[in-house]
Amino acid sequence: MNLKPLFTPRTMAVCGVSLKNEAHPANVIFNKNNLRYPIETYALNPKGGTFQREPLYPDFSAIPEHIDLAVIATRAEAVETVLADCLKNKVGAAVVVSAGFAEIGNHRLQERITSMALEASFPIIGPNCLGIHRPARFDTLFLPSERLVRPEKGNLAFISQSGGVLVDQMLKFAGQGIGLSAGVSIGNKAVVREIDLLAYFDRDPSTRVMAFYIEGFAENEGRHFVQAAQACKKPVVVMKSGKSPGGSKAASSHTASMAGDYFVFKEVMQQHSIAVAKDEHELGAFCESLSNFETQIEGRVGIVTVSGGHGVVAVDTCTEHGLQVPVLSKATREAILPRLNPSIRDIASLDNPVDLTGSSFDSDFVAVTDILSRSPEVDAILILLLPYSPGISTDISAKLSHIHQREGKPMVAYLPKDEKYRIILEGFELYNIPVSPSIEGSVLMLEALRRCKKC
C-alpha cells in the first residue's frame, strides 16, 4: 500500500462542502487549505454550483486534475459512495473524518469500506478522525485555524488515535519548541494502522523520531507493533491509555479499540528499547530530547549547578530514574580547580554535582562544562541554571551551546520559566539543547536517551 499520497499530495479534494453551513467540517478544511497552503484544493458537492467564487464539483471525474488526496467529510452513510468514486477515478488516498462507524457500533459499514480499500490497496486514514497536519504543506484538521496552536516544522512525527490528544499535544509541543514533521489522527484506523505508519515514517527523511498515543490494538496487534518498532532505525516513543478497567472501557467506546493488558505491554516495550511515556509530561520530555540528540547514553550524568539544593534534588531524581551521578575522579577535579575564578575555588564543591555556588560567573560554568564534555567519566551533562545569580549573564546559554556544538556530548538544561529569561532559553534552543522548567523534566530528557537504542 502506497502511503505517499497521504503525506505528500500535490492535489486535494474536499468532499461534503456545504452551501448552507459555513461551519461544516468540509468547509473549514477547504477554506484552510485553499487559502493558506501550497496545495491545489478542490471542493466537492453532488449538487454542484459555486462556493466562495470557486466551482463545486459534483464528483471526481469533473475535476480537471488527478486528485492525490480526498478528504471525506460527509455523513457516514454517504462515505461508501464517495469511496467508490475515489476508486473509479484512481484517487491516491483518502482521509475520512466522518464519524458514525465502529465507534458507535456500526461495524458493518466500517467493514464494507475497509474491504473496498484493502481490495484496491487504497490507503485510508480514519474514519472518525481529524486526519493529517503537515506544517507548511497541508492540514485536514477541521478545526478553525485561529483556534489552533501549531508547532513549527520539525522532525517529530506524532500519531494519535485521538484527535483531541493530537491537538492538545500540538499546543504543548509548540510551547516546548518541538517541531513536527507530521501530526496524524487515525481514529478508528480501519485501513492504515500504527504499524503502517511506523514503516512510512521510518523511511521519511524529514522525520527523526516517531511518537504514538495508543488506546488499543486488535487481537495480537500489540505484539506485531512492538516487533515493528524494534526493527525501526529511529527511536519510538509510546504513550498508551487504557491502564485501568474504566480507561479500557472508555477507549473501546471512543475508537472501538481493545485496550489489552497495559502492564504487560509496557514491560515488553521497555525490553525492546521503546520509550514508554506514562503521561503527557514524560511524552513531551522524551520527544524533545530524542528530536535533538542522536546519541544513546549509558546514563552517567555530570551535574553543574549554582545551588546545592538543586543539585541534591537532581541527584535524587536521577537515581529514581535509574541514572548514575558518579563522583568525579581526582584528576578531573584537579583539572577543574585552576580554571575557576579565585573567589570560588575554596567554596565550590567539585565531586558531582559540581556546585559552583551563587558567587560563580559564566566563565566557571564554561570551564566545568568544557572539561565534563571531554571527560569519559560522564556521558551526559545536566546544567541547573539559576539566572538570578548575579554573576550569570544572558550570554551563558550561547557560551555553553558552543561547547556542545564542538564536543557533541548530550546536554540538557533546567531553567526557571519566566518571560524575562527568554533570551537565555532561546540561546539553548538555537543550538538544539533541550530545556525544561523542572528538574524532573530535564532528567526525563536524559532518561529517554538511556532507554532508546536508536538515538
Final residue belonging to a domain, choices 241, 272, 291 = 291
pLDDT at 223: 87
The neighbour count for residue 108, using CB atoms within 10 Å, is: 9
Say whether both 156 and 287 belong to one domain: yes
Residue 451, domain member (yes or no): no
Please give the radius of gyration of the chain, using alpha carbons only, rounded to the nearest integer: 25
Would you list the DSSP string of 161-181? S-HHHHHHHHHHHHHHT--EE
Say whether both 362 and 404 belong to one domain: yes
Say whether both 310 and 394 belong to one domain: yes
Residue 133, domain member (yes or no): no
Residue 136, domain member (yes or no): no
Residue 454, domain member (yes or no): no
Domain range enclosing 111: 1-128
Q: DSSP 3-state assignment of 440?
A: helix
Say whether both 38 and 58 belong to one domain: yes
Say whether both 377 and 311 belong to one domain: yes
Hey, what amino acid is at 194?
Answer: E
Say whether both 42 and 169 belong to one domain: no
| 302 Cα distance to chain centroid | 27
- Residue 200 C-alpha cell reads as 512510512
Say whether both 341 and 389 belong to one domain: yes
Say whether both 155 and 281 belong to one domain: yes
At a CB cut-off of 8 Å and minimum separation 6, what does 386 contact?
305, 306, 307, 310, 358, 392, 416
Say whether both 86 and 166 belong to one domain: no
Final residue belonging to a domain, choices 249, 268, 291 = 291
pLDDT at 133: 97
Contact 182, 7 (CB under 8 A): yes
Residue 330, domain member (yes or no): yes
**Integer Cα distance of 415 and 433 in angstroms:** 12
Q: DSSP 3-state assignment of 297?
A: coil
- Residue 64 C-alpha cell reads as 480537471
Final residue belonging to a domain, choices 75, 96, 128 = 128
* Torsion sign across C-alpha atoms 225, 168, 77, 52: negative
Residue 135, domain member (yes or no): no
| Averaged pLDDT score across all residues of the chain | 93
pLDDT by residue (tens digit) across 270-323? 788 788 999 999 999 999 999 999 888 999 999 999 999 999 999 999 999 999
Contact 14, 73 (CB under 8 A): yes
pLDDT by residue (tens digit) across 28-74? 999 999 988 999 999 999 999 999 889 999 999 999 999 999 999 99
| b/e sequence 193-210, b meaning 16+ C-beta within 10 Å | bbbbbbebbbebebbbbb
Contact 427, 401 (CB under 8 A): yes
Q: What does DSSP assign to residue 241?
A: -
Residue 144, domain member (yes or no): no
- Residue 378 C-alpha cell reads as 560522564
Residues found in the chain:
455
pLDDT at 265: 79
- Residue 186 C-alpha cell reads as 487515525
Say whether both 226 and 344 belong to one domain: no
Say whether both 119 and 10 belong to one domain: yes
**pLDDT beyond 60 at 250:** no
Residue 381, domain member (yes or no): yes
**Integer Cα distance of 428 and 42 in angstroms:** 43
**Integer Cα distance of 45 and 441 in angstroms:** 49
**Integer Cα distance of 60 and 55 in angstroms:** 13
Say whether both 327 and 285 belong to one domain: no
pLDDT by residue (tens digit) across 117-160? 999 999 999 999 999 999 999 999 999 888 889 999 999 999 99
**CATH number of the structural domain spanning residue 47:** 3.40.50.720
- Residue 153 C-alpha cell reads as 516544522
| b/e sequence 52-70, b meaning 16+ C-beta within 10 Å | eeeebbebbeebeeebbbb
**CATH number of the structural domain spanning residue 395:** 3.40.50.261
- Residue 47 C-alpha cell reads as 449538487
pLDDT at 264: 80
Looking at the 3D structure of the chain, how many domains does it have? 3
Report cis status (omega within 30 of 0) of the bond before 437: no
**Integer Cα distance of 241 and 259 in angstroms:** 8
Q: DSSP 3-state assignment of 236?
A: strand
